Amino acid sequence: MKQLISALIPDTDALLPELEAIYKDLHQHPELSMQEIRTAKIAADYLVAQGFEVTREVGITGVVGVLRNGNGPTVMLRADMDALPVAEATGLPYASTVTAKDEDGVQVGVSHACGHDLHVTWLMGAARLLAQHRDTWSGTVLAVFQPGEEVGRGAQSMIDDGMMDRFPKPDIILGQHVMVGEAGTVGYRSGPILSAGDSLKVKLFGRGSHGSQPQTSVDPVIMAASTTLRLQTIVSREIAPSESAVLTIGSLQAGTKENIIPDDATLKLNMRTYDEDVREYMLSAIRRICCAECVASNAPREPEFTTLSSYPLTENDKEATARVAQAFAAQFGERAYEAPPAAASEDFSIFGRSWHVPYVFWFVGGTDPEQYADAKAKKQLNQLPSNHSPKFAPTLHPTLKTGLLAMLGAAAEWLGEENAAS
């Protein structure tokens, strides 16, 4: 590892201006989930230029690059490519002004409000440096640019497209995410690091009528309101205080006019859990409560449940995480720390779960150090623009270099020549 990293560090600094230009270009041209055509072409063309064997359109827009370099472990490095239907409000000179139609045909603002443009840039940089310094490592690198993380379909779409049969099986899968945190730091954790996330749409059926004649109706607005309140008791009264769980009703839609009782109402909810038993219990409890409230309201039929997205728990392998932590400690010293689990969710672990191989996922801080220190001193960390905020904008330096070195350092734990025979 030491030989590989020491060889790469001088070239890392020289590469930063090129990577900064790539990042700003990607930032100005975001693409919605499963529509990442331009981004995928940029990544694929870059890998070709570095000597990778490149396969395009894996899982619609995914890109897989393979760099074979003798005997040794196979290391998969993953970056997600998609942006969000969020109009950017950062005020940056390279801010996105892109609009596009979402899957429902609605014209929306689009921006990289989650930092995936930085993820793509990091992996492109790592791919180039590894290709340039093949004399310092041995093994195979899989560079994977994944679509559709924000809708929870991208990783599975690549697996469904024969990824496991078409490419070498990795010995380790590595990924990272820019988050709110002091720029220049990296946070790792063994075991659960990101929650499982499930989003559901629940349609409740009533019987419409005139607002002046409620006795002739089955009011779905009342039904939805009662259901919303009751669902909140799952976490507060049915989940042990020692367990962590979140349930949020983010949308309640019913009716069009004040004097018309509508026929139906729709709830959209999201839950986050860190334990599979808790997850299964909550999903069951949601169905029980929704159905019970419909019975209590004398609804004409049972509710209709639709899964909007489902993200598995991201649970880092213990032994692999220890190796990554060791690498980070050597690279970053006190700037590497053990992070608490986050309530965000990812589909990254689908690769490791499908292949049955260990994986490690970690965080890279992207907040200006002075801004972060000031917010921390004032106990206002929750007020910093976070991922998915229209004002979320990672400070470019030293975040760009930190993420690049973190990815290379973790990969070197397996690819370094001293590890090639193991």
**Domains defined for the chain, CATH in brackets:** 2-193+313-419 (3.40.630.10), 196-310 (3.30.70.360)
So what's the pLDDT on residue 247? 97
So what's the pLDDT on residue 420? 46
Give the 3-state DSSP-derived string for 88-142, with helices as H, strands as E and coil as C: CCCCCCCCCCCEEECCCCCEEECECCCCHHHHHHHHHHHHHHHHHCHHHECEEEE
So what's the pLDDT on residue 103? 87
Euclidean distance between CA atoms 140 and 196, whole angstroms: 30
So what's the pLDDT on residue 8? 76
**CA dihedral for 154, 156, 158, 161, sign (positive or negative):** negative
Give per-10-residue mean pLDDT for the chain (422 aa). Answer: 70 95 98 98 98 98 98 97 98 98 94 98 97 94 98 96 98 98 98 97 98 97 98 97 95 97 98 96 98 98 96 97 97 97 96 98 98 97 96 97 97 76 42
CB 101 within 8 A of CB 179: no
CB 82 within 8 A of CB 32: yes
So what's the pLDDT on residue 1? 60
Euclidean distance between CA atoms 367 and 387, whole angstroms: 11
So what's the pLDDT on residue 285? 98
SS3 of the chain: helix, strand, coil, percent, to 5: 40, 30, 30
CB 112 within 8 A of CB 177: no
Place of tokens 């990091």: 122
**CA dihedral for 140, 143, 146, 152, sign (positive or negative):** positive
So what's the pLDDT on residue 198? 96
pTM above 0.85, yes or no: yes
Q: Is the peptide bond before 300 cis (omega within 30 degrees of 0)?
A: no
Give residue 149's identity as a one-letter amino acid code.
E
Give residue 82's identity as a one-letter amino acid code.
D
Phi, psi of 66 (to 5 degrees): -120, 125
Element containing residue 205 per DSSP (H, E): strand 196-205
